[in-house]
Amino acid sequence: MQNTEQTPRDASTEAGGRPWRHRIVENDTLRMTVLSMLAAAVAIGLSTLLIATPLGDALGVGAARRASWMTGLMTLCLMWSIYSALDTVVLYRWLGRRDSTDLHALLRTRSRGPKESVNPGGWRALMLGASSTLGNTVTFSVMAMLVVVISMWMPEVRSVLTMRLLAVATVLASWASIVLAQALRYARLAAQHDPKRSRPEGESPAPPIRFRGSDAPVFSDYVALSLTLSTMMGAQDVVFSGRAARTAVREHALVGFLFNSMIIAALASLLLTVA
């Protein structure tokens, strides 16, 4: 695997020397905030269109579209589905087309992301999704669970095909976001590895993630790793080393198991329910 040793940030990597759009993309908190605001604006506009025009009748929403709870549920589903799509496009354009050296250098120097390999943060950061990528993962999972459970228990929602499709889109979008968030976590973990950093006795300085047969992994390799772990298939051609890597895999496996067993089961129940 190529050299991913930790290097200090210098003046050229500070925010003041970067275009504003780069600073937004490279800072997880800013990127999530801006994309959430954009997704919310689009979702509110679409919800208003469905409520105030005959389009709602054409899509089968009917009189229920004027209920405040239906409006809120519809807006939430649209918002998170749109946010996930935007985040996927942004991450692909930002990281997906970079070679291995450029990818790891960016994540090691300019990227301002959660400190997955250093400190998971406190409860406040976790709730805000700023402590670690796991915080974002939990947020997406809880959101999908609430939407599907609420939809499954409300006959008024189950009877509307559009709302069932939105619930499906919300769960699929959340699952895709989980995969991408964890892929970014693994990529940062590898990029920010510093073999010279002091470690507890017995802890190996070996790279936390090594891909067999690939000395220069790109972002798609980390996405594939996250995808296999999210589907509980296991990563047979990847070697993990160190406590930070084991912690990342353990947390990912736990969230993935809960998501796959609970959310997908609830989604299946929703789709198979006859109103």
What is the predicted pLDDT for the residue at 195? Answer: 65
- Interstrand relation of 238-240 and 209-211 (parallel, antiparallel or unpaired): antiparallel
Would you tell me the crossing angle of helices 28-52 and 68-91 to the nearest 10 degrees?
140
Is residue 52's pLDDT more than 80? Answer: no
Going by pLDDT thresholds of 50, 70 and 90, the confidence category of residue 273 is low
Phi, psi of 238 (to 5 degrees): -125, 135
Q: What is the pLDDT of residues 231-247, one digit of tens each?
A: 877 777 888 888 888 88
Going by pLDDT thresholds of 50, 70 and 90, the confidence category of residue 219 is very high
Is residue 85's pLDDT more than 90? Answer: yes
Q: Supply the DSSP string of 115-169, one letter for each residue.
A: -TTT----HHHHHTT-S-HHHHHHHHHHHHHHHHHHHHH-HHHHT-HHHHHHHHH
Phi, psi of 240 (to 5 degrees): -100, 140
- Rounded CA separation 191/193 (Å): 6
Q: How far is CA 270 from CA 138, 175, 255, 263, 274, in A?
A: 22, 17, 21, 10, 9
Record the tokens describing residue 150, joined without a space. Answer: 């609420």
- Rounded CA separation 248/236 (Å): 16
Is residue 87's pLDDT more than 60? Answer: yes
Record the tokens describing residue 33, joined without a space. Answer: 């905030």
Is the separation of the CB atoms in 132 and 109 below 8 Å? no
The size of the chain, in residues, is 275
pTM over 0.85: no
Going by pLDDT thresholds of 50, 70 and 90, the confidence category of residue 15 is very low
Going by pLDDT thresholds of 50, 70 and 90, the confidence category of residue 223 is very high
What is the predicted pLDDT for the residue at 200? Answer: 66
Average pLDDT for the chain: 75
Q: What is the mean pLDDT of residues 146-167?
A: 76
